[in-house]
Structure 1
């Protein structure tokens, strides 16, 4: 039946308007992904399986699971399948596909999964198996969904994490939950409450990471990095199996096992979830010299405070009397600062007056990191140095919101410290380490704040080295870090 569901998907998906998909946060599961997800459930001795598929769509995931059972992959005597689907256009197909499994007791529920489950409370529903490709859409802070979730103790910002939290909460002890979801929950402050929720109620057993961003849901043009995760309700946490493949063909899958302390670092208050892709720890993890926090170093990191669309009336394309430099990522490179940039599509300056002065910083040396990289960028962390000499006699600067800046109490850094910090952040080891917990193209100030750094003295040595070597390569940068932190 999975192949039938997939053929219906190929026929129906192009007919669904993008606006309709966006309204429900729909991204249909390709058949090879569904089959792989169904294969991740461990064998068990249960006589009765109680299966949940929330946001079931056309039923690809349920069909993949039931096909495995029908083909002898599970020893259940009976299966009771519950499927939630809000979309009337898909539910008829879903009912038809599940009806072909005559041995299965099927319950298809029409309506909004979040509203229905939260209205009834989070008691154990006895689900032994849960398979999910939940909808992906942000939840506004005062929306009905957010308030309903809050009433049952779930605080989260996206439909996908809400579906997973509800599934974990209502599964039976020992219940297995397999879900394909965006990797964005692994880090950042917005998903902290969700991470705490699932880590307190379940054990992570398995994670699969795709090397390519754009292959899994290519029919829906999804460029979010996705992960497949298996959780065990009320499980005792142990080692975690991590697999990787280039794409959803799974033809080059690599399997490794890691202790849980490599997945969630014991001392991390944010409980970031790392997805290591190599058995060997990198320089950042191995070196005892890289263990300082920004607080230890007397450095702070902040998001650029100038949100251009909110201060539009004060922005100027080119400098004029009464303005000061406004710095965007376009003004920065690995080699220095260029300002102003003629014909830049962004403003080069901002008026300095009573309305804007609170957003401005004194001119000086700063290390800055771009908050966003392009979808297939080779590097996730890209640091530059703001050099005050580029701005003439201007005494203050504006930093646009697409930058994170390192500073000392809203003042610049010593030159060698700024340069050394940029060198360190541009090393391959930092980028590899960062990718273990950051699953999207955004680099948050919180992420940078929680990283470990070399000592202030080591950073200044890096700064002195790079100042004396005007042309450096990636290999030179990586080698220099290894020398200083050995």
Structure 2
């Protein structure tokens, strides 16, 4: 471990050197610096305190977050009589900038600054495990962090160290947050800006459980514009700010929203925790409502059925094309069956085969591929990915077997979610009704409120609520009778169905 005293560094070419370093290092370390306005907002989320504050800034960078916290303290907004700051920063070329940032706050006995030039993950996990070769870190009362955004390999030194400390996670940002939680004293406060991706999906399930078992969520802030929180760094994932309280008793959660990091149009609403985490959700998905009012899906007593209630299953398309490359064919030929990609579905129509498609149109039907194929029939499919510019998140289509002729099976590529009955087709009216329901504005708005990412996972669709099987069948029969379907028509028909 190397500790650096706070000192001023003043090279003439410092700014130019720093800019070059920043571009090079952010990809290597997953590091993005916090804008001053965002740092100030994060510091404002801490409730006032008293006595001695032990502050952790894990991955301190140039000290923006620590500075924002100390600014609020020096202005009388926090009430502590003394602060001891541990600022961890592994990148030695940032240490002069970090030192310069923190020097201006002085060290008059009421502030102690420790700049720790060491790997936070190893220091924290060694401390938690009680390693004889590493000093124990005293518990922190407060933590503020913008952790690095980078995946960890399953056999990496970081992943192994985390696993030994009882933390299983796939990304540095979730590792930093989990360790900060573990190092924080009861009633301690943690404020972090992190990608929203941890709220959903199987990869972050262990991390969600770790956090939810040890903390209470007090505040969540969303940026409506996906890329405005770090607009100078080309960060395209959606970020949020969260305040957690160690060992807190969970109560209502404040959710605030602003368009960007100016916070000029900030709005805040309080929601019962049951809207954030559904009581029966075994996946522990964290849902973030963007309005205090319940939407049409939440309000309707007719939309309360799970897919299991309906006897329907949804799965990710099983054909991963690069793994079965030898069996793929550009055009249909004897011994092949259709291979369906999102591009094969346009509106209500199934278009197959498509000439000049960059993807293959067919896959061999043989003993090696049989397990990846479904019997020909009616299915409902939903695209797994949409771009952030698209108007809709959920885009559903009907697979009509008449589009393929007399083929025994179909291949569904991995970019599709497939609704089926035990890997067999659905009754036609049910498949059509399910597609119509998923394409309603009400469903899209509901999904957007609680899912910030552009990926629609099978798990997301499995956790949604649906009308009854009979209601979906009626909706499908109605849709089949219409010569043309518009958004206005399907929205109006859903309203009639669930009224």
How high is the TM-score relative to the length of structure 2? 0.92
2:496 matched residue in structure 1: 483
CA change 1:369–1:10 in 2 (3 A) is farther
**CA–CA distance in 1 between the matches of 2:486 and 2:46?**
46
Deviation larger for 158-167 or 147-156: 147-156
- 1:227 equivalent to 2:237? Answer no
- How far apart, in 2, do the equivalents of 1:231 and 1:12 lie? 36
Preserved contact between residue 328 and residue 360 of structure 2 (Cα < 8 Å) = yes
**Structure 2 residue aligned with 1:449, among 462, 465, 470?**
462
Match of 1:70 among 42, 64, 74: 74
Q: Which residue matches 2:113?
A: 106
User: Is 1:299 aligned to residue 338 of structure 2?
Assistant: no
Cα deviation code 1:224-279 (max 9, x no counterpart) = 11111001111111111111111111111111111111111112111211110111
Please give the alpha-carbon distance, in whole angstroms, between the structure 2 residues aligned to 1:473 and 1:460: 19
Question: Aligned to 2:55, which of 51, 59, 72?
Answer: 51
Cα distance between partner residues in 1 of 2:184 and 2:467: 44
Of 21, 28, 51 in structure 2, the residue corresponding to residue 23 of structure 1 is 28
Aligned counterparts, 1:260-271, within 5 A = 260-271=273-284
Match of 1:238 among 227, 251, 259: 251
Within 5 A, what are the aligned runs for 1:108-123?
A: 108-121=115-128
Query: Is 2:39 the partner of 1:34?
Result: yes
Q: CA deviation at 1:12?
A: 5.9
Contact 1:223 1:375 (8 Å CA) reproduced: no
Q: Which residue of 1 aligns with 2:356?
A: 343
How far apart in 1 are the matches of 2:340 and 2:411?
Answer: 6
Name the SS for the 1:72 alignment partner.
Answer: coil
Deviates more, 1:346-355 or 1:408-417: 346-355
Mapping for residues 329-340 of structure 1, pairs under 5 Å = 329-340=342-353
**5+ long unaligned stretches in structure 1:** none
Paired residues of 1:282 and 1:433 also in contact (CA < 8 A): yes
Partner of 1:189: 202
Q: 1:91 to 1:164 in 2, by over 3 A?
A: same
CA deviation string 1:413-468 (max 9, x = no partner): 11111111111111222222222332211111111111111110011111111111
Contact 1:27 1:217 in 2 (8 A): yes
1:152-191 superposed matches below 5 A: 152-191=165-204
Label 1:209 to 1:449 Cα distance change in 2 as closer, same or farther (>3 A). same
Preserved contact between residue 193 and residue 239 of structure 2 (Cα < 8 Å): yes
Question: Matches of 1:119 and 1:74 in 2, distance apart?
Answer: 31
In the alignment, which residue of structure 1 is the partner of 2:449? Answer: 436
Q: Give the whole-Å Cα distance in 1 for the aligned partners of 2:181 and 2:208.
A: 12
CA distance, structure 2, for counterparts of residue 302 and residue 14 of structure 1: 46
- Describe the SS at the equivalent of 1:436: helix
Aligned to 2:479: 466
RMSD value, Cα: 1.8
CA contact (8 A) 1:58 1:91 kept: yes
Q: Is the 8 A contact 2:254 2:268 kept in 1?
A: yes
What's the secondary structure of 1:95's corresponding residue? Answer: helix
Deviation at 1:472, TM superposition (A): 2.2
**In structure 2, what is the equivalent of residue 274 of structure 1?**
287
Aligned to 2:85, the other structure's residue is in SS state: strand
CA contact (8 A) 1:184 1:438 kept: no
**Aligned twin of 1:97:** 101
Displacement of 1:100 after TM fit? 2.2
Contact 2:127-2:137 at 8 Å conserved across structures:
no
Q: For residues 460 and 14 of structure 1, do their structure 2 counterparts lie closer, same or farther at Cα, with a shift above 3 Å needed?
A: farther
Determine the structure 1 residue equivalent to 2:433. Answer: 420
Q: Which moved more, 1:357-366 or 1:134-143?
A: 134-143
SS of 1:429's equivalent in the other structure is helix
Asked if the contact 1:124–1:169 (Cα under 8 Å) also holds between the matched residues in 2, the reply is no
Evaluate the alpha carbon distance shift between residue 19 and residue 300 of structure 1 in structure 2; reply closer, same or farther with a 3 A threshold: farther
Q: Quick one: structure 1 residues 270 and 10, their matched pair in 2 at CA, closer, same or farther if it must change by over 3 Å? A: farther
TM-score for both structures, normalised by structure 1:
0.95
Distance 1:29 1:40 in 2: 16
Secondary structure of 1:121's counterpart equals helix
Could you tell me which residue of structure 2 aligns to residue 86 of structure 1?
Answer: 90
Residue pair 1:187, 1:437 contacting (<8 A) in 2 also: no
Residue of structure 1 in register with 2:5 after alignment: none
Q: CA deviation at 1:358?
A: 1.5
Residue 13 of structure 1 and its aligned partner are, at CA, apart by: 6.1
SS at the partner of 2:423?
A: coil
Are the aligned partners of 2:124 and 2:137 in contact in 1 as well (CA < 8 Å)? no
8 Å contact kept, 2:62–2:94: yes
**Secondary structure, counterpart of 2:80 in structure 1:** coil
* CA 129–17 in structure 1, closer or farther in 2 if over 3 Å, else same: closer
